[in-house]
Amino acid sequence: MNAQPDFPEMKELNALARAASDLGYEIVDIAGFLDLVEAQAREQRVALSGVEDGSRDIEAASTAVQGATRDLSASVERTAQDVDTSATLVRALGEESNKIATWVHYVSTRNTEISDTLKAVKNNNAQIASISMQVNTLAINAKIEAARAGDAGRGFAVVADAINELSKKTKDAARQISSNIETLTGWIATLGTEADDVAQTATSLMEQSAKTDDALSRMEQSVGDTKLQAERINSNGVKVRTAIEAFTPSMHGMGQSIATTTDGIEKAHKRIGRLIDTSETIVGTSAALGGMTEDAPFIDYTRARAAAISQAFEQAVSDGQISMPDLFDRNYVPIPGTAPQQLRTAYTDLLDRILPAIQEPALALNDRVVFCAAVDVNGYLPTHNKNFSHPQSADEIWNTANCRNRRIFDDRVGLKAGRSAAPFLLQVYRRDMGGGEFKMMKDLSAPIMVKGRHWGGLRLAFSF
């Protein structure tokens, strides 16, 4: 701006312009704080929603656990009854096995006695057979002597024949008895062997029965413990569900409170946005009325550079370097393999040739200047300053900071800079420096017009 006469009215207007600029600074700082609060409130709202969902899930799980523990208790009760019945049967079986084993041992003992008796009978029978042989021999001798005695010996001969016949029958009977004793002895021996086998089996059965009884006793104890634990789980499940039922309404109320707060912050944020617009209007109006601020040199420079770009664009159209439709092309074509995404239009290459000569000198205007770049009405920035136009690497974080050309910046500041048709627009914003640190910046823009059409705006960003 040109120097103004030192009138009291101008001093007041200058003071108003500075106050409006300071007001914009404070409002933007508050807006930035509200951004953080709003983001945190939204995160808390999402987190609380997750907690509420989790609470409902826990309540449902608690109900399921209670049902499961009731079923478990009933199952354990049935198992306990079955185990008790099995234990009773096994113990009864053990007692019967003990009786069988005792009887088998008794049979085995009796078999030994019978075997001994049969051995004695066999010996006696052998003696009878021996005596029978001797009697037979005597009968033969008596018969011979009776024959020698003639008629006197006939009666004795008859007796001798009878004795001889009797001895033969006795011998046959003794032979038959011996045969029967042998057979009986074989049976008794087999019975004894089988009795021994049965006795061993019975003993093993008794031992196994005792082990089974011990196992069942332990099972009874385990089932009893399980039943007790199931009852405790069920009791604690009731307590948990009661606590959750009391906790859920509080969570719901807290959620409603946070939702109300978030809505309030959003409304406050919108009102702050309107205040920012108002402060920017005051700054622009006071400048239009002749008010002077420390930003005046930047304003004059930006308007002049924007006018130079407008003239360069019109000359390019007149020279046939580009058509008006191509200069106003809004078809943003993604460049493959770029992250963040970069884009091209019909005018990108032309602006790479035209803009550097106009934009780069702005960096030497003042040490506070950060960048100077033109954007279209949608915030598309085709040609940035050289220090922000490096080829992309594989590191997206590095690319975000150093490869800012051919990208769309459609945030509040970027869109207003590209769409404002006022002689100039001075915006204040917070630049994210990372690590939770922010730096207050000013964004000064002036419209770029081509043959009466609004192409976009030239942005000049500088620090306070």
DSSP 386: G
Beta strand 437-450 pairing with 425-434:
antiparallel
Same structural domain for residues 158 and 192?
Answer: yes
| Inter-residue long-range contacts of 76-85, CB under 8 Å, 24+ positions, other chains counted | 76/223, 76/226, 76/227, 76/230, 77/227, 79/223, 80/220, 80/223, 80/224, 80/227, 83/216, 83/219, 83/220, 83/223, 84/220
CA–CA separation, 366 and 296 (whole Å): 13
Whether the pLDDT of residue 364 is over 80: the answer is yes
Measured CA to CA, the distance from residue 457 to residue 444 in angstroms comes to 10
Separation of alpha carbons 419 and 282, rounded Å: 18
**Domain stop point among 237, 255, 280:** 280
Q: Per mean pLDDT, which of 153-157, 178-182, 388-392 is the most reliable?
A: 388-392
Q: What is the mean pLDDT of residues 423-439?
A: 77
Q: What is the DSSP letter of 364?
A: G
User: Which helix (H) or strand (E) is 256 found in, with range?
Assistant: helix 154-288
Same domain, 319 and 263: no
Structure tokens at 422: 């006022």
* Domain final residue, candidates 249, 280, 311: 280
- Across the chain, mean pLDDT equals 77
98-127: average pLDDT? 69
Q: According to the model, what pLDDT value does residue 328 have?
A: 98
Residue 73 confidence (pLDDT) above 90: no
* Residue 268 pLDDT: 61
Q: pLDDT band at 423, cuts 50/70/90? A: very high
Q: Is residue 353 part of a domain?
A: yes
140 and 156 in contact (C-beta within 8 Å)? Answer: no
Q: Does the structure show a pLDDT above 90 at 126?
A: no
Residue 142 in domain: yes
Averaged pLDDT, 374-393 = 97
Element at 209 (helix H, strand E): helix 154-288
Q: Are 4 and 290 in contact (CB under 8 A)?
A: yes
143-160 confidence digits (pLDDT tens):
787 777 777 766 767 777
SS3 label, residue 315: helix
Paired tokens of 437: 């640190």
pTM check: above 0.85: no
CATH number of the domain within which 235 lies:
1.10.287.950
**Three-class SS state of 464:** coil
Q: What percent of the chain has pLDDT over 70?
A: 62
Q: What is the mean pLDDT of residues 121-129?
A: 71
Q: Are both 54 and 93 inside the same structural domain?
A: yes
Question: Is residue 285 one of the residues assigned to a domain?
Answer: no
Q: Are residues 150 and 206 in the same domain?
A: yes
Residues 180 and 302 in one domain: no
Residue 220 sits in the same domain as residue 245: yes
**pLDDT cut 90: percent of the chain above it:** 32
- pLDDT of 393 higher than 60: yes
- Domain for residue 330, yes or no? yes
Q: Are residues 19 and 155 in the same domain?
A: yes
Highest mean pLDDT among 187-196, 236-245, 353-362: 353-362
One domain, residues 251 and 113: yes
Give the model's pLDDT for residue 172. 77
| Higher local confidence (pLDDT), 361 or 292 | 361
Final residue of a domain: which of 280, 305, 334?
280
Task: Choose the weakest-confidence range: 275-289, 384-398, 405-419.
Answer: 275-289
- In this structure, the answer to whether residues 188 and 245 fall within a common structural domain is yes
Tallying the residues shown for the chain, one arrives at 464
pLDDT-wise least confident of 221-230, 303-312, 323-332, 447-456: 221-230
Please give the structure tokens belonging to residue 287: 């400048």
Q: How far is CA 175 from the centre of its chain?
A: 93
Q: Decide: 406 and 342 in contact? Cβ < 8 Å.
A: yes
Rounded-to-integer distance, Cα 364 and Cα 427, Å: 21
CATH number of the domain encompassing residue 391: 3.30.450.20
Burial of 3 (0-12, 13-18, 19+ CB in 10 A): exposed
Q: 299 with 426: CB under 8 angstroms?
A: yes
Closest C-alpha among 228, 275, 263, 235 to residue 62: 235
In a domain, 288, yes or no: no
Range of the domain at 300: 294-463
Q: What are the tens digits of pLDDT across the range 24-65?
A: 556 655 655 566 666 766 776 676 676 667 666 776 766 776
CA separation for the pair 359, 357 (Å, rounded): 6
Q: Determine contact, residues 286/16, Cβ cutoff 8 Å.
A: yes
DSSP for residue 388 = G
Name the region of 55 (left: φ>0; alpha: ψ -120 to 50; beta: rest).
alpha
User: Could you give the dihedral angle defined by the CA atoms of residues 274, 278, 284 and 286, in that order, rounded to the nearest 10 degrees?
Assistant: -170
pLDDT value at position 141?
77
Q: How far from 164 is each of 127, 135, 152, 158, 205, CA to CA, in Å?
A: 18, 7, 19, 10, 60
Bridge partners of residue 449, in order along the sequence: 454
Q: Quick check: is 410 in a domain?
A: yes
Domain check: are 231 and 159 in the same one?
Answer: yes
- Work out the pLDDT band at 1, boundaries 50, 70, 90: very low
With respect to residue 148, please indicate whether it lies within any of the assigned structural domains.
yes
Check residue 290 and give its pLDDT. Answer: 54
What is the pLDDT, as a whole number, of residue 2?
47
Looking at the domain assignment, is residue 22 inside a domain? yes
- Residues 6 or more apart whose Cβ sits within 8 Å of residue 387: 402
Higher-confidence position of 273 and 391: 391
Q: Confidence band (pLDDT; 50, 70, 90) for 321?
A: very high
If one compares 247 and 412, the residue with the highest pLDDT of the two is 412
| Amino acid letter, residue 37 | V
Burial label, 254 (beta-carbon count in 10 A; 0-12, 13-18, 19+): middle
The total number of structural domains in the chain stands at 2
- Segments in 289-355 forming alpha helices (H): 296-318, 324-327, 348-354
pLDDT computed for residue 189 by the predictor: 73
Q: What does the pLDDT look like over 212-262, one tens digit per residue?
A: 767 767 776 777 777 777 677 767 767 776 776 666 676 666 666 666 666
95 with 211, same domain: the answer is yes
**Mean pLDDT value of segment 126-134:** 73
- Asked if residue 305 and residue 275 are part of one domain, the reply reads no
